[in-house]
Structure 1
Amino acid sequence: MNVPVTGNIKEKILSESEKLLWKYGVRTITMDDIARRLGISKKTIYQHFTDKEDIVYHVVSHHLTNEICEVDKILEIAENPVEEMILVSDMMRQHADAVNPSLLVDIQRYYPKAWAAFLEHKENRIIKDIMASLQRGVEQGLYRADIDLETMARLRVELIQLGFDDRVFPHAKDIMALQDQLLHHFVRGILTDAGFVAYNQSIDKLKKSTI
């Protein structure tokens, strides 16, 4: 189905490319598919982007920028660091239906520029955010005081990436159910008694909000 192209054509190309790449995978979708989706010629696309790798890079960068905005909103509304982590995981779940399970692995394998952008985001934003959240949790008595903040932050990020790797979990039928398992395994390992109370309250609150 063609999508009417109005307004800023470059933004429209990025928007529709993201939908296609996220749903069907970065390797599957071609420049022809993108042109056909928009009802424009490939020549028009090449006026704005060098090649498919350029599109993938800009799509990933755009997605990461939007993700930062969503996480910032969560940090504003969460009652404590435990709830922050639960809500961020739920945000991932809400996006899961639109994401091909092989997306992250394929970007790592075949699109080095886009992967470099993700790694920069991972180092300069994700890990630092998780470390800050863990620090607040320790200060509030929700997380154990003996945890190493950087080690735990990096472990959390690696667990997320691991959950999308079909080489490690080749038979995973529900990626977000797998991510939930990894999240809860991680969180429960660093909670104090007070943290467990906050954890159970956050889970109950989330369940009620989704009914």
Structure 2
Amino acid sequence: METTIFGKKDIILKKATLLFTKYGTQSLSMDDIANECGVSKRTVYKYFQNKADLINQIIGIKITRFQENLEDITMKSKNAVVELHWFFMYYKEVISSYSPTFLRDLKRSELIFYVKYSNINNEIILPFFLKNIERGQLEGLYKQDLDQEEMSQSVLNMLSYIFSENSLAHIENTYGTLDFFGKLLMHRLVTVEGLDELNAQNS
């Protein structure tokens, strides 16, 4: 019985995530969610108090999954260059799953959730990047005289630009911008030894 209960909630969360990230939050009602999931509205309200509660849980899951995936990248990468290269590949995958409508709706009507999601940059990505710099320096693959504060701010500014309504509206151009920024950043970071590893990743 418990498996069935948690299975239904999981189905609702997965389907609602796909719908919200594609069509935004404002154009969809709990009736729409129930119909798309093939369940009654009463079933949806059994697990979620209202649409805001559903959105909050979805964002919480996505933030947790994002952090877990970064931890997995760190664990599986053989060095800092590979780790950062994989990060940019993963981030491209992340932004491809969002529509500009979703970000617009969060910013205009669900501001508390937009702020919560935007905090990923400072609370997850920034610590990841700083640890990556330390790792690269210890491995001899990154330069020792890096201005971490300046570089960290550059990363945050760029990712804030990338993860925006306007950028997601022109996703192909955004992919190119992200690729260019990633390559530029990594060339600023690496030593001669690190450059060899970087070239191996790009080959």
Please confirm whether the aligned pair reaches a TM-score higher than 0.5, indicating the same fold: yes
- How far off is 1:70 after superposition? 1.5
Matches within 5 A, 1:1-211: 6-8=4-6, 9-167=8-166, 171-204=170-203
* Larger deviation, residues 96-105 vs 49-58: 96-105
Q: CA deviation at 1:37?
A: 0.7
Question: 1:84 is aligned with what amino acid?
Answer: E
* Higher RCO (Cα < 8 Å, 6 or more apart): 2
Contact 2:103 2:165 in 1 (8 A): no
Taking the aligned partners of 2:157 and 2:30, their CA distance within structure 1 comes to: 32
1:110–1:190 CA distance, 2 compared to 1 (3 A): farther
CA contact (8 A) 2:96 2:171 kept: no
Relative distance call for 1:168 and 1:37 in structure 2 (3 A) is: closer
Q: Are the structure 2 counterparts of residues 99 and 121 from structure 1 closer, same or farther at C-alpha, using a change threshold of 3 Å?
A: closer
Distance 2:26 2:174 in 1: 19
Report which of the two has the higher share of helix: 2
TM-score (norm: length of structure 1): 0.79
Number of residue pairs aligned between Structure 1 and Structure 2: 200
C-alpha distance in 2, partners of 1:89/1:37? Answer: 33
Identity %: 23
Give the residue type in structure 1 aligned to 2:70: V
Q: Deviations over 1:99-132 (max 9, x none)?
A: 3245445433432232233244433322111111
Q: 1:3 is matched with which residue?
A: none
Where do 4+ consecutive residues of structure 1 move more than 6 Å? none
CA distance in structure 2 between the aligned counterparts of 1:105 and 1:165, rounded to whole angstroms: 9
Distance 1:102 1:198, change over 3 A: farther
Distance 1:171 1:98 in 2: 13
Question: Where does structure 2 lack aligned partners over 5 or more consecutive residues?
Answer: none
Distance 2:26 2:185 in 1: 32
CA distance in 2 between counterparts of 1:50 and 1:7 reads: 16
Letter in 1 for 2:124: R
Gaps of 5+ in 1: 1-5, 205-211
Separation in 2 of the partners of 1:12 and 1:106?
A: 23
